[in-house]
Amino acid sequence: MNYSIYKLRFLAPVHFGKNQLSDSEYTLCSDTVFSALCMEAVRMESDILSNLLQLADSGNLQISDAFPYIGEKLFLPKPHVFIEHGKEENSSIIKKAFKKLKYITIDDFENYLKGSFDVLNAAQMSQLGVSGLKVSASVRNEEGETMPYEVGTYSFNEGCGLNLIIGFGSDEAKTLIDSLLEQLQHSGLGGKRSSGYGRFSFDELEPDEWLTSRLVGEAEKYMLLNTALPKESELEDALLFADYSLIKRSGFVSSSSYSDSWQRKKDLIMFKSGSCFEKRFEGDVFDVSNESGTHPVYRYGKPMFMRIC
């Protein structure tokens, strides 16, 4: 497997859905990225979507969550595993700092795993960007009356954005993803794209040797770099000695040909990035369509693991 890092520079505010329309996250789960790639594939040649699904299902394509970057600092999720950080960790200030910590730079990750991480001088997400609210109005009845509503947005600061780690098991996978990202940057990521949100440009980087070496090989414990879910037959083994957090993944189907009305996808409870396991699992690309839809709807649940010990 070969890996590339794609640094996404957002040219407009983003709306990454949370619980309410007025909320917005500053990161994206891998299943959302994959769904956006599927939508671009549908707009291209008829066999592009089937090729994308085959590459993902066979494991020849791996996609991480979209993690923050600030300047040259690329971040990874904090692992869900206990690590002793010395006597100073008993300080209430340091305890609060570790509890608040969500992401760690790649450069600091080794020190974190060794217990020598300086949490008080770590890069803060407050440097990444700012949240906001945009007030819009929609027509609600035949008389043309309008009703205001608020859309949560996030605007990245200059030199900040999100990075994707993507693994390719073949040249075909690399070529396909590059072409889809070229199209997707104009369509945008996240919600409210018809209003111009989520448009981006991107640069491709080669991961450093430290990260590349940890994305391959056997280990005593692995950390998820994306939102993933084992197959039902894998779940019991995956849970053995695992430390994890869960996230509910839901939402509406974006395809206009799926149904005459808005339809919800089936909900899935998945493992969040940062969850740690002793047993690897293969996961799957799950069909989350419902009975009233006209075609399958896919949610990406294949894992990207990183060795942590």
**Helix, strand and coil percent figures for the chain, each rounded to 5:** 25, 30, 45
Rounded Cα gap, residues 198 and 229, in angstroms: 26
Q: Which of 193, 183, 125 is nearest to 153 (CA)?
A: 193
Rounded Cα gap, residues 270 and 273, in angstroms: 10
- The answer to whether 69 touches 94, Cβ cutoff 8 Å, is no
pLDDT tens by residue, 205-217 = 999 999 999 999 9
What average pLDDT does the segment 109-119 reach? 92
pLDDT tens by residue, 219-260 = 999 999 999 999 999 999 999 999 999 999 987 777 666 665
Rounded Cα gap, residues 104 and 206, in angstroms: 19
Spell out the domain ranges in the chain: 2-307
Residue 288's CB: how many other CB atoms inside 10 A? 21
Q: Residue 200 pLDDT more than 90? A: yes
Using 50, 70 and 90 to split pLDDT, how confident is the model at 86?
low
Using 50, 70 and 90 to split pLDDT, how confident is the model at 296?
confident
What average pLDDT does the segment 174-190 reach? 96
Residue 173's CB: how many other CB atoms inside 10 A? 23
Rounded Cα gap, residues 10 and 161, in angstroms: 6
> How many residues are given for the chain?
309
pLDDT higher at 273 or 250: 273
Q: What is this structure's pTM?
A: 0.90
Structure-token match 């690590």, residue found: 83
Q: Residue 81 pLDDT more than 80? A: yes
Using 50, 70 and 90 to split pLDDT, how confident is the model at 264?
confident
* CA angle in degrees (0–180, nearest 5) for 23-17-75: 95
Rounded Cα gap, residues 233 and 264, in angstroms: 26
